[in-house]
Amino acid sequence: MTDLPILSILIFFPLLGSIVLLFVNRERVYAIKVIALIFSVLEFVFSLPLFFLFDEGKKGMQFVERYTWFPEWGISYFLGIDGISLLLILLTTFLTVLCVLCSWTDIKTKVKEYYISFLFLETAMIGTLCALDLVLFYIFWELMLVPMYLLIGVWGGPRRIYAAVKFFLYTMAGSVLMLLAIFALYYLFYRQKGFFTFSIFDLYTTYVPLSIQYLLFAAFAISFAIKVPMFPFHTWLPDAHTEAPTAGSVILAGVLLKMGTYGFLRFAIPLFPKAAYDAIPIISILAIIGIIYGAIVSMMQPDLKRLIAFSSVSHLGYVMLGMFAFNMQGVEGSIYQMLNHGISTGGLFLLVGMLYERRHTRMISDFGGLSSVMPIYATFFMIVTLSSIGLPGTNGFVGEFLILLGAFRAEKIYGILGATGVILGAIYMLWMYQRVMFGTIKHEENRKLKDLCGREILILSSVVFFIVLMGVYPKVFFKKMDTTVEEFLKFVSERKAYYATVDTQQKLSSISDLGGRR
Amino acid sequence: MGEYIWLIPSFPLVGFLLNGLLGRRMPKAFVSWVGCLSVFLSFLFSVFTFFELLRLPPEARLIEVDIFDWIISGEFVTRVGFRIDPLSIVMCLVVSGVGFLIHVYSVGYMHEDPGYPRYFTYLNLFVFMMLILVTANNVLLMFVGWEGVGLCSYLLIGFWYEKDSASNAGKKAFIVNRIGDYGFLLGIFLLLFSLGSKGVWTLNFSELEKNVNLLNENVISLITLLFFIGATGKSAQIPLYVWLPDAMEGPTPVSALIHAATMVTAGVYMIARLHFLYNLAPETMFIVALIGVLTAFLAASIGFAQYDIKRVLAYSTISQLGYMFVGVGVGAYAAGIFHLMTHAFFKALLFLGAGSVMHALAGELDMRKMGGLKKYLPTTHWTFLIACLAIAGIPGFSGFFSKDEILWKAFSSNRGSIFIYILGLVTAGMTAFYMFRLLFNVFYGKERVDEEIKHHVHESPKIMTIPLVILAILSIIGGYVGVPHVLGGGAHFEKFLEPVFKVPHEGEIHHPLSLEIGLMVLSVVVALIGIYFAYLYFLKKPELSESFVQKYPNLYRTVHNKYFVDEIYGFLFVDNLLRFGRFMKNVIDEAIIDGIVNGTGYFLRGLGSVLRFLQSGYVQAYAFSIIIGAILVVGYLLMKVTS
ipTM for the predicted complex: 0.92
**A186/chain B closest Cα distance in angstroms:** 10
Q: What is the pTM of this model?
A: 0.92
pLDDT at B566: 86
pLDDT at A518: 43
End-to-end, the C-alpha distance of chain A in Å comes to 64
For B507-536, give one letter per residue: b (16+ CB within 10 A) or e.
eeeeeeeeebeebbeebbebbeebbebbbe
pLDDT at B458: 85
**B216/chain A closest Cα distance in angstroms:** 18
pLDDT at B331 over 70: yes
Query: Nearest residue on chain B to A328, judged by CA atoms?
Result: B74
In this structure, the strands spanning B63-73 and A75-81 are unpaired
Query: Nearest residue on chain B to A186, judged by CA atoms?
Result: B634
pLDDT at A232 over 80: yes
pLDDT at B624: 62
Subunit contact B637:A212, Cβ cutoff 8 A = yes
Q: How sure is the predictor about B610, in pLDDT bands with cuts at 50, 70 and 90?
A: low
Subunit contact B161:A375, Cβ cutoff 8 A = no
Subunit contact A212:B72, Cβ cutoff 8 A = no
**B486/chain A closest Cα distance in angstroms:** 46
For residues A120 and A128, what is the distance between their CA atoms, to the nearest angstrom? 12
Q: Are B441 and B367 in contact (CB under 8 A)?
A: yes
Chain B residues with beta carbon closer than 8 angstroms to that of A191: 638, 642
Percent of chain B clearing pLDDT 90 (strictly above) = 60
pLDDT at A1: 45
pLDDT at A301: 93
Average pLDDT over residues B336-363: 93
For testing the chain A interface, which of B10, B17, B68, B71 should be mutated: the one with the most A CBs within 10 Å? B71
pLDDT tens digits along A101-144? 999 988 888 889 999 999 999 999 999 999 999 999 999 999 99
Which of residues 595 through 624 in chain B touch A, CB cutoff 8 A?
597-598, 601
Query: Nearest residue on chain B to A329, judged by CA atoms?
Result: B73
A394 closest CA partner among A476, A478, A466, A318: A466
A66 closest CA partner among A75, A81, A78, A84: A78
Chains A and B form CB pairs within 8 A to the count of: 161
Subunit contact B76:A402, Cβ cutoff 8 A = yes
pLDDT tens digits along A5-37? 999 999 999 999 999 999 998 888 899 999 999
Average pLDDT over residues B605-615: 65
Q: How sure is the predictor about A517, in pLDDT bands with cuts at 50, 70 and 90?
A: very low
Q: Kindly state whether A473 is in contact with chain B, defined as any CB-CB distance less than 8 angstroms.
A: yes
pLDDT at B413 over 90: no
Q: Give the DSSP letter of residue B507.
A: T
Give, in order, the Cα–Cα distances in Å from B250 to each of A117, B153, B212, B307, B310.
50, 9, 41, 18, 11
Q: Are B154 and B171 in contact (CB under 8 A)?
A: yes
Long-range CB contacts (within 8 A, 24+) of B481-484: B482/B338, B482/B401, B482/B402, B482/B405, B483/B401, B484/B401, B484/B404, B484/B405, B484/B408, B484/B516
Subunit contact A386:B151, Cβ cutoff 8 A = yes
Q: Which of A405, A427, A434 sits opposite B192 (nearest CB)?
A: A405
A83 CB-contact burial (10 Å; exposed 0-12 / middle 13-18 / buried 19+) = buried
For residues A4 and A187, what is the distance between their CA atoms, to the nearest angstrom? 34
Q: Are B8 and B63 in contact (CB under 8 A)?
A: no
For residues A337 and A318, what is the distance between their CA atoms, to the nearest angstrom? 8
Q: Are B78 and B141 in contact (CB under 8 A)?
A: yes
Q: Give the DSSP letter of residue B481.
A: G
Alpha carbon B155 to its chain centroid, in Å, reads: 15
For testing the chain B interface, which of A182, A211, A299, A386 should be mutated: the one with the most B CBs within 10 Å? A299
For residues B22 and B276, what is the distance between their CA atoms, to the nearest angstrom? 45
Average pLDDT over residues A142-154: 91
Q: Are B285 and B225 in contact (CB under 8 A)?
A: no
For testing the chain B interface, which of A175, A408, A433, A465 should be mutated: the one with the most B CBs within 10 Å? A408
> From the CB of residue A6, how many other CB atoms can be counted at a distance below 10 Å?
20
List % helix, strand, coil for chain A (3-state, nearest 5): 80, 5, 20
pLDDT at B102: 95
For residues A435 and A448, what is the distance between their CA atoms, to the nearest angstrom? 18
For residues B172 and B123, what is the distance between their CA atoms, to the nearest angstrom? 20
Which of residues 175 through 214 in chain B touch A, CB cutoff 8 A?
175, 178-179, 181-182, 185-186, 189-190, 192-193, 196
pLDDT tens digits along A256-292? 999 999 999 999 999 999 999 999 999 999 999 999 9
**B138/chain A closest Cα distance in angstroms:** 14
Q: Are B259 and B153 in contact (CB under 8 A)?
A: yes
Q: Give the DSSP letter of residue A230.
A: P
Q: Are B497 and B400 in contact (CB under 8 A)?
A: no
B598 closest CA partner among A286, A169, A226, A293: A169
Subunit contact B68:A402, Cβ cutoff 8 A = no
For residues A44 and B585, what is the distance between their CA atoms, to the nearest angstrom? 40
